[in-house]
Structure 1
């Protein structure tokens, strides 16, 4: 039975479930595995990130984009990330906060992809 996403325990549930899917995914799993050797610190950081993003609870420190910028990520990686994320949320949760977390993930993926694309430069762009 689905429920409203309401607390830190719910965040732990969806983060753990989501990253289990990520680790076994043939497209994005290798990208994460190439930089994460110990998953527990990453999971704990994600618990704090989503707790801050959804409930305004202090505790997250970091720059998520800076961690993703050096990776060889393209649009299809973000599409898969979003698909797995949305599937995970929809498996366990419903309601306002479930929709909010999916919206925040969408915005983050769009922003990260845009910034990565802009960093690449190109014939018509000069990066100083």
Structure 2
């Protein structure tokens, strides 16, 4: 039996992001959204590792505009991203954290993802107006 520890460093963040996207890539609902716009998964995993490292450790290692990117992804997918897709995304994220980690930073990763999912969907919906 594996004893879970908290997210402690970039390597842990990389593990989390990598394991999460392995699930997302093959999901019949989410996979197409990601696979239609991401051609270089290795770079994407590094970019998202930078994002989550910034979120969880308050390091300035991420550059980009996630909101703009998600609006673009929605447009490239004929404005078909729905609230349910964010629910599936969040469930995979929470499940992956629970499989790998336990602790304060793991809980922070869950809370940040919940807030981001709500905010992103609201902004995507607004951008359609």
Q: TM-score, normalised by structure 1?
A: 0.91
Q: Which runs of 5+ in 2 are unaligned?
A: 75-79
1:65 aligns with 2:72: no
Alignment match, 1:90 = 98
Paired positions, count: 121
* Runs of 4 or more consecutive aligned structure 1 residues displaced over 2 Å after TM superposition: none
Choose which of 7, 10, 23 in structure 1 pairs with 2:9.
Answer: 7
Question: Greater CA radius of gyration, 1 or 2?
Answer: 1
Question: Which structure: greater helix fraction?
Answer: 2
Q: How large is the Cα RMSD of the aligned pairs?
A: 0.8
The partner residue of 2:40 within 38, 41, 51 is: 38
The residue number in structure 2 matching 1:125 is none
- The counterpart of 1:120, out of the listed 100, 122, 128, is 128
Aligned to 1:106: 114
Secondary structure, counterpart of 2:6 in structure 1 = coil
Shift of 1:59: 1.5
CA distance in structure 2 between the aligned counterparts of 1:48 and 1:22, rounded to whole angstroms: 18
After TM superposition, the score normalised by the length of structure 2 is 0.90
